Chains A and B, each alone.
Chain A
Amino acid sequence: MKLEELRYGTELIKRGFAKMQKGGVIMDVTNPEQAEIAESAGAVAVMALQAVPADIRAAGGVARMADPQTILEIMDAVTIPVMAKVRIGHFVEAEILEALGVDMIDESEVLTPADEQFHIDKKRFKVPFVCGARDLGEALRRIDEGAAMIRTKGEAGTGDVKEAVRHMRLIQSAIRELKGKTEEELKLVARKIEAPFELVKETAELGRLPVVNFAAGGIATPADAALMMKLGADGVFVGSGIFKSEQPEKMASAIVEAVNNYENPEVLAEVSKGLGSPMKGIDARTLSEEEALQTRGW
């Protein structure tokens, strides 16, 4: 094998990684014990964090990348992929995570943005990125910057699914509206939603985003997860929903099964039984503009 013939970090490799996550549940964890619980429940990956979004929200202050020590301990504890978050625009945090060997980087609005103008230039990294989006224009801008995966922003740390639903519906309906449009009309759309024409065209041809699209931000029960799958998500991220619930092991397994059986209400009924209290949550509508995380990034 000639080493120079191996091509690392290509678009195919980065987007391919995201495709392997499809139909899966990615769980937020803050220590190796939680990571092991997630892995044995059937999570496809874990997101290593210093604190889950509900606690980040409660603590206030500036939220930053997790301690590399915590991330490494989690990487050692499980065999499934480990992801971690960086602040929007903080490319040095991203370089640190790449150096650690994290499998995917989430440029996340859950942390306090580091740059008010620019998201990270994700194309220059070998590690794939996932980014949040509220609508089609935002999703395509992130893909243009090199994101290999998109997730709805939702409203993290609330346990209220309505914002994730809104974002998923907005993205899906905008994609449906592209159907049958002429090239000139697609150019008009591209200008309007502030996205590159080539990506608008590709999305119109595919009838879906050019990369994997997960749901995130407020998913707290098996029914929430199945709802997002029904709305067209390729998989789900569950943040505070698992380890802020009364019985994390049970909740984790139930959400994994719900995602596999999202079209089967009998199974959903079965897995939803006796899970104890889900996370308490906050109605996302009661948040002030400063408290909302989804408006970070553009």
Chain B
Amino acid sequence: MLIGVLAVQGDVSEHVDALKRACDRVEVVLVRKRGIIPECDGIVIPGGESTTFCRLLEKEGIWDEIVEAVKRGVPVLATCAGLILLSKEVIDSAQGQRTLGVLNVKVRRNAFGRQRESFEAMVDVKDIGEYRGVFIRAPVVEEVENGVDVISKLGDKIVGVRQNNIIGFAFHPELTDDIRIHRLFLDLVKAVEGRMMGSFSPQTSNSPSS
């Protein structure tokens, strides 16, 4: 099982550590350039600055690879800036900021305010239960289309969504010691892998797993 962590910028090592703690057999590769995403069984998009992500993803040619991987059903875990990057529409985006547009939600950037207004709070996550949410200049999901499940809320605000194999959170599970969300993601990767092994898809049998 090879997980690609997008590493152009952001809290990359925290996700790598969380994945390794969640499963000792997982292999992690850092994605800074083109050509790695197509080999991955799962993709993690970390927290960071979404405007920086956009610029570097386009520049390095990783943009189309992620969109293509999502279309193939490769599981994605996205946190904070990662959630913004996947979304179809962004309110309060920077000038000229594009997004991958594969997740059918409308998000608001910096929805709670600036760093001063960043906070920790307990949230409920579907299939997991109570979870410590670390919200740093966090976005919220303001609208979801059909096919998107709301899996986490803080009061009346949507802070976690799932659409097929995409899981997105407004907070940072990678900043806590609680690995339940990363485990949930890896279980999804295993399930998808199992289904693909069962099918006749030739490219999965070639995927490097060592």
Contacts and interface: CB of A to CB of B under 8 A. Distances in A.
Interface string B115-151: 1111111100000000000101100000000000000
Contact of B134 (A12, A128, A256): A12
B7 interface: yes
A10 interface: yes
A40 B96 contact: yes
Given A12-B120, A13-B136, A260 B60 contact: yes
Contacts of B176: 12
A44 interface: yes
A237 to B, nearest CB: 15
A103 interface: yes
A23 B117 contact: no
- The size class of the interface chain A forms with chain B is 35 or more
A65 interface: no
Interface residues of B, number: 48
B136 A43 contact: no
Contacts of A98: 116
Contacts, number: 133
A43 B136 CA distance: 18
Nearest to A25: B52
B9 A260 contact: yes
Contacts of B110: 79
A17 B119 contact: no
28 contacts: A1-B154, A1-B155, A7-B121, A8-B117, A8-B119, A12-B120, A16-B118, A17-B136, A17-B137, A19-B47, A19-B175, A20-B47, A20-B80, A24-B10, A24-B49, A44-B9, A44-B49, A44-B52, A45-B49, A79-B92, A79-B94, A79-B109, A81-B49, A103-B116, A126-B116, A128-B115, A256-B52, A261-B32
